């Protein structure tokens, strides 16, 4: 076995990996179960192989979660090894983040050297959205690490024309598809174009290789979905969030067209009713969002103030924390609660909204760095060396995603931006080292380095200014940025004017460049480290300086890690009176069921799937289940639609209403509602518009417990269906 030599290079890489581990792991338990919809599904998956394979949401395998299996298989395996807990299900993501940092170092180093790789690894490690995704169970960084593994095989395939390595690379992308479906294909343009322009083998052979590997990609990508669809519907759970109980339809519909804003229904597949707090929450600017009888529309043409008002209402309706909690919409008044609600355009990722704080920090350096590297390497349509291959690959990964996230009004959340973090980090490392070489060479190209540092510093200063009035930390960050980045960059330019090539000047130049880069690392690192002290929003995780704003340090997202008194009493009631039923409790949606799955061992049916509007059971089918004694108690209220509403109407007409005193601690319930309303009033008090206060208070009091993960519907009633059908 080859011994590891503790050289300066080895130690520097180890320090970056340790930094990444610290950012990802310190106080990780603060996140609880993070995204509790997925956490409930993982718990159910640990209970049986059937649930595990089909990624069932509930213990009895009634309906699945709305994503493919691989990422959640990793979480379930971790939970089986270490015991089910919030920490055990977050472990795979946190590890994936650290491994990704190591991979980006390796990928950049092999073409541009140790320093470039080290800079890239540092940038990736401290990017806020990357850290937020590493501390959450939405599996996005499991996808990132899989795609970076695909890159390790791809670069060797493109350099040598090895079809076996290309097959391996595309197979890994197919595995990524089974983590996050079509999101994995965002790397596709980079792979196909770079390989097509490589020169290791003749053009015809390259085309044949790509055709062959595309077949492999499709086969691996759709293997699990096809198997699921071939299993008789009676022998597996219903495919959640699909319109026809099909994984293929789920891929094309909810996880496909909706992400592009092309779906005819941007709320819930299969019915009316808005997606609540889970990942499927709607973000289409132009759609009408509905929760029960409450409706609102969010238009991309609205002013920032109006968008904030609508977004605050949407956040409350979906069971999310009010403005200022969980890392978005705090006292800094960032625009938007979801990606599609921010103003579309090339400036979207730079504007005062909840996206820019996540990813913008090194973006200017990456773009200018690409230009510098392309000039130096004389990039053209003939990729005849490692550097050209690498430059083209990273920019073709970056640009299509940048355009997509800048302009789409489809369904996307801020943590999706973690897909941009690797190419930005890679091009930043490549760019700084390339511009340093140009700086030493002299000529007009030598001005690129100080100019790029100043431009990136200006963009960071703009971003920090968004938080200047709401965060003392932002003031210190701004001072450090000015001293380290701006002053160093200006002196660097002045040194170039002197044209002094003395050895002492070379040492000074290195110090100045290093100081400027350290200055650029401070803001994103502080924003990422804020996750140590602030619980992120479980369903919309976001790190960044917003977490340090004066009202942005609240608990992000509703927690159901510990059952409250009223739910504990209900759980005991069900365990005592419905122990023989296949489904001890029926609720309208997974959004209402998750708390009971996580906090107890009772079997819960989410009647309408994730949002309550999936067409899973007809009224006649439900009646048959009642007749067989498979269903006993039903909790009305919550979010639903279509057939679920029909069933709930029948339940109210035919079931026996259970006295609330048997399953609810009314004193505790009223105190909890008063506390929620007080918190919402305090948060809304920071808004400038009085209409925000009025709208949010009325909406919050009605919907904070309306099927949200924080508690069941406060207006819901429990019905006993025993004897409902004579």
Tell me the DSSP string of 665-682.
-HHHHHHHHHHHHHHHHH
Question: 16 with 101: CB under 8 angstroms?
Answer: yes
**β-bridge partners, 572:** none
CA distance 709 to 714: 12
Counting residues of the chain whose pLDDT is more than 90, the rounded percentage is 66
Q: How many CA atoms lie within 13 A of 354 on its CB side?
A: 36
Q: What digits encode the pLDDT tens for the residues 589-601?
A: 998 899 899 999 9
**Residue 255 confidence (pLDDT):** 79
Instruction: Grade residue 639 by pLDDT with cuts at 50, 70 and 90.
Output: confident
The most confident of 456-470, 555-569, 629-643, by mean pLDDT: 456-470
**CA-wise closest residue to 625 among 556, 508, 525, 724:** 724
Tell me the DSSP string of 108-122.
HHHHH-HHHHHHHHH
The pair of structure tokens assigned to 135 is 């501390």
CA distance 15 to 37: 35
Count the Cβ atoms, other than its own, within 10 Å of residue 249.
19
The most confident of 61-70, 324-333, 604-613, by mean pLDDT: 61-70
**Residue 675 confidence (pLDDT):** 52
- Can you list the alpha helix ranges (DSSP code H) found in 408-545? 421-441, 448-465, 472-481, 488-498, 503-529
Beta strands in 495-603 (DSSP E): 583-587
CA distance 57 to 609: 9
Instruction: Grade residue 75 by pLDDT with cuts at 50, 70 and 90.
Output: very high
Of the candidate ranges 3-17, 184-198, 538-552, the one whose mean pLDDT is the lowest = 538-552
Residue 650 backbone phi and psi in degrees, to 5: -65, -40
Q: How many CA atoms lie within 13 A of 383 on its CB side?
A: 23
**Residue 189 confidence (pLDDT):** 97
Phi-psi group of 287: left, alpha or beta (phi > 0 → left; psi -120 to 50 → alpha; rest → beta): beta
What value does the mean pLDDT take over residues 222-232?
A: 97
What value does the mean pLDDT take over residues 647-653?
A: 93
Q: DSSP state, 353? A: B
Question: 310 with 698: CB under 8 angstroms?
Answer: no
**Residue 701 confidence (pLDDT):** 32
The pair of structure tokens assigned to 154 is 């791809």
Q: Which residues contact 451 (CB under 8 A, 6 or more apart)?
A: 368
User: Domain limits of the chain?
Assistant: 8-228+345-532, 560-726
**Residue 550 confidence (pLDDT):** 59
**CA-wise closest residue to 227 among 213, 239, 242, 244:** 239
Regarding predicted confidence, which is higher, 45 or 313? 45
**CA-wise closest residue to 439 among 493, 504, 483:** 493
Of the candidate ranges 134-138, 510-514, 700-704, 718-722, the one whose mean pLDDT is the lowest = 700-704
Tell me the DSSP string of 93-110.
HHHHHHHHHHHHHHHHHH
CA distance 443 to 450: 13
The pair of structure tokens assigned to 231 is 């299993």
Tell me the DSSP string of 202-244.
-HHHHHHHHHHHHHHHHHHHHHHHHHHHHS-GGGS-B-TT-SS
CA distance 389 to 151: 12
Count the Cβ atoms, other than its own, within 10 Å of residue 214.
13
Question: 676 with 704: CB under 8 angstroms?
Answer: yes
Regarding predicted confidence, which is higher, 585 or 408? 585
Rg of the chain in Å (alpha carbons): 26
Of the candidate ranges 261-270, 475-484, 650-659, the one whose mean pLDDT is the lowest = 261-270
Residue 163 parent element (H or E): helix 163-180
Residue 713 has pLDDT above 70, yes or no: no
Phi-psi group of 329: left, alpha or beta (phi > 0 → left; psi -120 to 50 → alpha; rest → beta): left
Count the Cβ atoms, other than its own, within 10 Å of residue 288.
14
CA distance 293 to 637: 12
What value does the mean pLDDT take over residues 184-212?
A: 96
**CA-wise closest residue to 474 among 546, 535, 533, 534:** 546
pTM of the model: 0.85
CA distance 361 to 357: 8
CA distances in angstroms from 138 to 33, 46, 435, 580, listed in the order given: 11, 18, 37, 34
User: Three-state DSSP class for 686?
Assistant: coil
Q: Which residue has the tokens 């049986």?
A: 48
The most confident of 164-168, 379-383, 542-546, by mean pLDDT: 164-168
Residue 685 has pLDDT above 70, yes or no: no
Q: What digits encode the pLDDT tens for the residues 261-320?
A: 665 443 333 333 333 333 333 333 333 333 333 333 333 333 333 333 333 333 333 333
**Residue 427 confidence (pLDDT):** 98
Q: What digits encode the pLDDT tens for the residues 414-456?
A: 999 999 999 999 999 999 999 999 999 888 999 999 999 999 9
What value does the mean pLDDT take over residues 555-579?
A: 68
CA distance 185 to 209: 18
Instruction: Grade residue 238 by pLDDT with cuts at 50, 70 and 90.
Output: very high
**CA-wise closest residue to 165 among 201, 189, 141, 203:** 201
Tell me the DSSP string of 279-319.
TT----TTSEEEETTEEEE--TTS-HHHHHHHHHHHHHHTT
Given the DSSP bridges, would you call strands 294-297 and 288-291 parallel, antiparallel or unpaired?
antiparallel
The pair of structure tokens assigned to 20 is 């990444």
CA distance 75 to 136: 11
């Amino acid at each position: 076995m080859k011994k590891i030599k503790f050289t300066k290079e080895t130690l520097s890489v180890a320090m970056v990996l340790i930094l990444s581990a610290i950012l990802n792991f310190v106080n990780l338990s603060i996140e609880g179960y993070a995204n509790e919809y997925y956490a409930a599904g993982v718990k159910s998956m640990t209970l049986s192989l059937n649930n595990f394979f089909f990624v069932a949401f509930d213990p009895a395998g009634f309906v699945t979660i709305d994503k493919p299996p691989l990422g959640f298989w990793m979480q379930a395996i971790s939970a089986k090894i270490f015991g089910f807990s919030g920490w055990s299900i977050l472990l795979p993501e946190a590890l994936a983040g650290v491994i990704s940092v190591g991979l980006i170092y390796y990928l950049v180093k092999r073409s541009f050297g140790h320093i470039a790789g080290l800079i890239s690894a540092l940038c990736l490690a401290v990017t806020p959205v990357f850290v937020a995704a590493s501390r959450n169970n939405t599996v996005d960084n499991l996808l990132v690490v899989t795609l970076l593994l695909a890159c390790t095989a791809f670069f060797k395939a493109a350099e040598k024309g090895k079809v076996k390595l290309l097959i391996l690379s595309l197979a890994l992308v197919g595995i990524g598809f089974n983590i996050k479906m079509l999101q994995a294909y965002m790397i596709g343009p980079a792979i196909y174009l770079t390989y097509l322009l490589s020169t290791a083998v003749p053009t015809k052979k390259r085309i044949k290789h790509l055709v062959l590997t595309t077949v492999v990609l499709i086969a691996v990508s759709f293997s699990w979905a096809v198997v699921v669809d071939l299993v008789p519907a009676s022998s597996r759970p219903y495919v959640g969030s699909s319109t026809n109980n099909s994984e293929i339809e789920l891929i094309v519909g909810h996880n496909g067209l909706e992400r592009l804003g092309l779906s005819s229904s941007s709320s819930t597949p299969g019915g009316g009713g808005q997606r609540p707090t889970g990942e499927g929450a709607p973000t289409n600017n132009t759609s009408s969002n509905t929760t029960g009888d409450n409706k609102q529309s969010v238009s991309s043409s609205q002013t920032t103030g109006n968008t904030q008002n609508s977004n605050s209402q949407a956040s409350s309706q979906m069971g999310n924390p009010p403005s200022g909690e969980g890392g978005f919409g705090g006292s800094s008044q960032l625009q938007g609660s979801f990606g599609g609600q921010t103003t579309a355009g090339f400036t979207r990722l730079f504007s005062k909204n909840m996206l820019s704080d996540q990813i913008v920090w090194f973006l200017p350096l990456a773009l200018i760095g690409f230009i510098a590297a392309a000039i130096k390497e004389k990039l053209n349509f003939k990729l005849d060396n490692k550097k050209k291959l690498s430059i083209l690959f990273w920019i073709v990964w970056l640009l299509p995603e940048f355009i997509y996230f800048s302009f789409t009004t489809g369904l996307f959340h801020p943590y999706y931006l973690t897909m941009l973090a690797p190419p930005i980090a890679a091009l930043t490392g490549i760019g700084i080292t390339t511009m340093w070489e140009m700086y030493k060479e002299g000529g007009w190209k030598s001005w690129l380095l100080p100019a790029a540092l100043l431009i990136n510093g200006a963009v960071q200063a703009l971003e920090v200014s968004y938080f200047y009035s709401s965060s003392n930390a932002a003031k210190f960050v701004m001072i450090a940025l000015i001293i380290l980045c701006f002053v160093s960059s200006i002196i660097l330019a002045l040194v170039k004017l002197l044209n002094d090539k003395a050895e002492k000047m070379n040492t000074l130049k290195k110090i100045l460049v290093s100081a400027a880069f350290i200055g650029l690392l401070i803001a994103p690192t502080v924003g990422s480290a804020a996750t140590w002290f602030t619980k992120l929003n479980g369903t919309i995780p976001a790190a960044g300086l917003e977490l340090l704003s004066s009202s942005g340090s609240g608990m992000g997202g509703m927690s159901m890690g510990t059952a409250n008194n009223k739910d504990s009493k209900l759980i005991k009631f069900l365990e005592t009176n419905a122990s023989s039923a296949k489904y001890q409790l029926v609720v309208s949606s997974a959004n209402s069921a998750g708390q009971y799955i996580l906090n107890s061992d009772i079997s819960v049916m989410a009647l309408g799937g994730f949002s309550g509007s999936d067409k899973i059971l007809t009224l006649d089918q439900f009646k048959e289940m009642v007749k067989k004694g498979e269903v006993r108690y039903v909790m009305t209220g919550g979010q639903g639609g279509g057939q679920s509403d029909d069933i709930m109407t029948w339940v109210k007409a035919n079931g026996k209403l259970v006295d609330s005193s048997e399953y609810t601690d009314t004193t505790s319930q009223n105190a909890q509602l008063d506390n929620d309303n007080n918190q919402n009033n305090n948060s809304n008090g920071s808004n400038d518009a009085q209409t925000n206060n009025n709208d949010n208070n009325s909406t919050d009091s009605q919907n904070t417990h309306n099927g949200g993960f924080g508690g069941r519907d406060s207006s819901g009633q429990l019905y006993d269906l025993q004897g409902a059908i004579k």
